[in-house]
Amino acid sequence: MSASGFKYLTRQGLSNLSRNKLMSIASIGVLTACLVITGIAALLSLNVNSFVDYLGAQNKVIVYLKLDADDATVAQAQEAIKAVPNILEYSYVSKEQALQETKGWIAEYDDGAYANVLDGYEGDKNPLYASFRVTISDLTQIDATTAQLRQLPGVDFVDEPSELAGTLVSLKTAVNVAGWGLVAVLAVVSLVVISNTIRITVFARHKEINIMKFVGATNTFIKLPFLVEGTAIGLISAALAFGLVSGAYLLVLKAIADAGSGWLTSLYFTVVPYRKIWSSMLLSFVLSGAVIGGFGSASSVRKHLKV
């Protein structure tokens, strides 16, 4: 096919949008709605995963050193921790820091009635352990990681939130399966719905297709305008869906940020920032819209070519 012929058929496909305004608007509306629902499901799944990861990061593994651990033992244990994989971050808490923290907790309990219970336990009388507070990167590997931490020099015992970690891992898996499963189902539904919608458009013009076929037009010559029309419908729908989902997401972020206080404010820091997802979201909408619209048109016109 020559370049001039391709340009002509492309213009024909685009002009079909205005010639069949009612069906074009219907197709755009249906595909936009499907893309919006799919986008919301994907963002919901993404943010639930982010929230679960945040909860996991708040539950640290505590590596307690032996009571008689000296500075050299602490330094040796710290170097060994650096070499352990699957550790996101860690912090050292000395015996003195542990004592002060415990005093603070006790002072807050029962209106400070027991605030002085640990007085006199400073220095050599300090009964608390020095420790490392370790944040695990991948909770699915928490058992293997804590097993390695137990083998470090100077370690007395390790306190791990294994039951909570298992719950969070199960929750994340369930969210992934449910969320992306819903996205897959909605994608299939979108494809079926838009194909049927475009099929109605094609059926209304089947006489035109038959005439073109009888006068010797090739299948490619007939299909290309419909393919261009469907792709254009998909791209317009993608732009509308991206705008709607982006606007809704930004409004939700603003509402959470403006909450002032309470659990919504803390939730804000677990929500995936818009700047990190807008480009991927736009690309996903454009590709999905173009593929669904183009494929829906191509598959719908195929059976009318058999005359």
Mean pLDDT is lowest, of 28-37, 104-113, 210-219, for 104-113
Q: CA-CA distance, 61 to 135, in Å (whole number)?
A: 6
Residue 185 has, within 13 A of its CA and on its CB side, a CA count of: 7
| For range 106-131, the mean pLDDT | 67
Helices (H) and strands (E) in the chain, counts: 10, 4
Domain tally for the chain?
2
Residues 49, 193 share a domain: yes
pLDDT of residue 110: 46
Residues 132, 228 share a domain: no
Residues 184, 115 share a domain: no
pLDDT digits (tens, 9 = 90+) for 242-277: 999 999 999 988 887 776 555 555 666 678 888 889
pLDDT digits (tens, 9 = 90+) for 273-293: 888 899 999 999 999 888 887
Residues 174, 29 share a domain: yes
Residues 182, 145 share a domain: no
Distances (CA, A) of 184 to 171, 177, 246, 259: 20, 10, 21, 34
Residues 191, 125 share a domain: no
| For range 83-109, the mean pLDDT | 79
| For range 77-87, the mean pLDDT | 86
Residues 187, 40 share a domain: yes
Average pLDDT taken over every residue of the chain:
77
Q: How far is CA 230 from the centre of its chain?
A: 29
The residue among 107, 133, 160 that closes a domain is: 160
pLDDT digits (tens, 9 = 90+) for 134-188: 887 777 777 788 888 888 888 888 877 666 556 666 777 777 787 778 777 777 7
The domain spanning residue 119 has which CATH number? 3.30.70.3040
| For range 18-42, the mean pLDDT | 81
Q: What does the DSSP assignment read for 85-152?
A: TTEEEEEEE-HHHHHHHHHHHHHHGGGGTTTTTTTT--GGG--PPPEEEEEES-GGGHHHHHHHHHTS
Is the pLDDT at 101 greater than 70, yes or no? yes
Residues 154, 114 share a domain: yes
Residues 267, 137 share a domain: no
pTM of the model: 0.63
Q: CA-CA distance, 56 to 50, in Å (whole number)?
A: 10
| For range 224-230, the mean pLDDT | 78
Residues 27, 12 share a domain: yes
Is the pLDDT at 94 greater than 50, yes or no? yes
Q: Which domain holds residue 92?
A: 59-160
| For range 5-24, the mean pLDDT | 66
The residue among 160, 189, 214 that closes a domain is: 160
Residues 185, 40 share a domain: yes
The residue among 96, 126, 160 that closes a domain is: 160
